[in-house]
Amino acid sequence: MTAIHEPPLHTPTGSLLRLATAGSVDDGKSTLVGRLLHDTKQVFADQLDAVERVSRERGLDGADLALLTDGLRAEREQGITIDVAYRYFATPRRRFILADTPGHVQYTRNMVTGASTAQLAVVLVDARHGVVEQTRRHVAVAALLKVPHVVLAVNKMDLVGYQESVFAPIADEFARYARALEVPEVTAIPISALAGDNVVDPSNAMDWYAGPTLLEHLEDVDVDHDPRHCAARFPVQYVLRPQSSEFRDYRGYAGQVTAGAFRPGDEVLVLPSGKRSTIAGIDRLGERDVEVAFAYQSVTLRLTDDVDVSRGDVIVPADRAPEVTQDVVATVCHIADRPLRAGDRVLLRHGTSTVKAVVRSLDSTLNLETLVRESGPEALHANDIGQITLRTAAPLPLDDYADHRRTGSFLLIDDADGATLTAGMVGVPLGTAAED
């Protein structure tokens, strides 16, 4: 495989940015991702040759860059993205993991998946159509998932004569809506993914726009939130007891540090039991007794006491523990075709733990047009965003999602067939309460 020229994937780069794209069908999302990859020299020559050949067979004048990202046959045949695809690329200034998520309303659940770990969301709108219902849904999902940075990419500016008078009102309407959802930062950029305007290179057709290109913004946006400074969390995945001659008395608890840092000597609690102990040692990748384990490192913790620890337990600092509760109030995005109703019995998956739960009440749904929480829905249907109350069969250590995305989120699962029903975030609901 031959590169167009040496891509910068192997050069030293700065921090990592996780981003997700969202947009309605035909807003040009796949073309934008293809343009980003092409203009940052991330496309190999034989890949581009294949795209150009297929484009000619379809009677197109130039290469359809959307073909670079529509990886599934069904996607190519329908001309829409239907699954989340992760793209990895880098520039000399930063590394990127891009979640290319579907725009069709039927696949909103896939956007939830793609945005759940994103630090930035790029929401596309077609300059000819402006902000539409699906745009509002995507912003609401980004707000629900606490994505800290949102970029509005007003695409297809070439089809409206590159006019500022088209771009400005769309940017204003989007900004008002995002502010009402308390999205902390919104940046609007006029682009043409097809022609390459303001994606990687500045446009010569929009001299009225003095802001950054999309790539410049992605390279510069500040995402220096350091999870190592949060209260430490360690969901236990496995209990290790090799009982070999070399490790006859070894007992360790393997998993990934999801926030904060642990050190030998730290006093900890094992939740939900509340048993207290002290970290005796930390092992990592065959290395014994490392000095510290930071967020996102996979390690094994050893404790000084022979306390009962099982898969699904969470080890936390004794002085910064989350609430342990069986009553869960959360904002949710319902993603299954079957509706969710009060009284439904489900499984709740939280980290490495799965417990039985019952939906006690459906408290409200969010009206995406008015951003008002409407009380007392009879059911939540696919793509509805609302607030619910659950009762679990066993206590769970739950953080507020705004503080800890991993330990503040959960999934509801159908206990009959294992289908995922709902994505939930513990914390303050979106929108404003309806007036009596």
| 385-407 confidence digits (pLDDT tens) | 899 999 999 999 999 988 888 89
Residue 224 has pLDDT above 70, yes or no: no
DSSP H helices in 42-157: 45-57, 73-78, 108-115, 133-144
Judged against a pLDDT cut of 70, whether residue 428 lies above it is answered with: no
370/161: higher pLDDT: 161
Determine the pLDDT at residue 357. 97
Cα-to-chain-centroid distance, residue 397: 22
What is the spatial distance between Cα 109 and Cα 101, in angstroms, rounded to a whole number? Answer: 9
Q: How confident is the model at residue 225 (pLDDT cuts 50, 70, 90)?
A: low
> Can you give the pLDDT at residue 102?
66
Sign of the CA dihedral with 225 first, then 229, 231, and 235 last:
positive
First-to-final CA distance of the chain: 65
Q: Percent of the chain beyond pLDDT 90?
A: 51
Give ∠ CA 141-146-150 in degrees, rounded to 5. Answer: 75
Mean pLDDT of 48-52: 77
Residue 3 has pLDDT above 50, yes or no: no
* CA 158 and chain centroid, separation: 31
User: Binning pLDDT at 50, 70 and 90, where does residue 82 land?
Assistant: very low
Is 7's pLDDT higher than 50?
no
Ranges 7-16, 66-75, 109-118, 197-206: which has the least confidence: 7-16
Distance CA 204, CA 331 (A): 44
Q: ω into residue 272 within 30 of 0, thus cis?
A: yes
Residue 259 has pLDDT above 70, yes or no: yes
Mean of pLDDT values over 353-357: 94
Which is higher by pLDDT, 86 or 167?
Answer: 167
Residue 4 has pLDDT above 60, yes or no: no
Q: What is the pLDDT of residue 72?
A: 47
Residue 140: what pLDDT? 87
Please give the mean pLDDT across all residues of the chain. 86
pLDDT at 251 over 60: yes
Q: How far apart are CA 325 and CA 346, in angstroms?
A: 17
E runs forming strands in 101-207: 120-126, 149-155, 185-190
Specify the pLDDT at position 66: 75
How much is the pLDDT for 83? 56
Top-ranked range on mean pLDDT: pick from 61-70, 123-132, 226-235, 281-290: 123-132
277: tokens are 């102990």
- The mean-pLDDT minimum among 3-7, 361-365, 404-408 falls in 3-7
Q: What distances in angstroms separate CA 277 from CA 61, 238, 280, one per listed residue?
A: 68, 18, 9
The whole-number pLDDT of residue 366 equals 86
In the block, residue with structure tokens 């969010």: 366
DSSP β-bridge partners for residue 358: 345, 391
pLDDT at residue 106 in the model: 60
Rg (CA), the chain: 24
Question: Which pLDDT score, from 0 to 100, does residue 252 have?
Answer: 94
Q: How many CB atoms lie within 10 A of CB 362?
A: 25
Q: Which two tokens stand for residue 177?
A: 């809506």
Mean pLDDT lowest for which of 166-180, 297-311, 329-343, 360-374? Answer: 360-374
Higher-pLDDT residue of 183, 57: 183
The pLDDT, as a whole number, for residue 248 is 77
pLDDT band at 156 (very low <50, low <70, confident <90, very high): very high
Rounded mean pLDDT, 91-116: 76
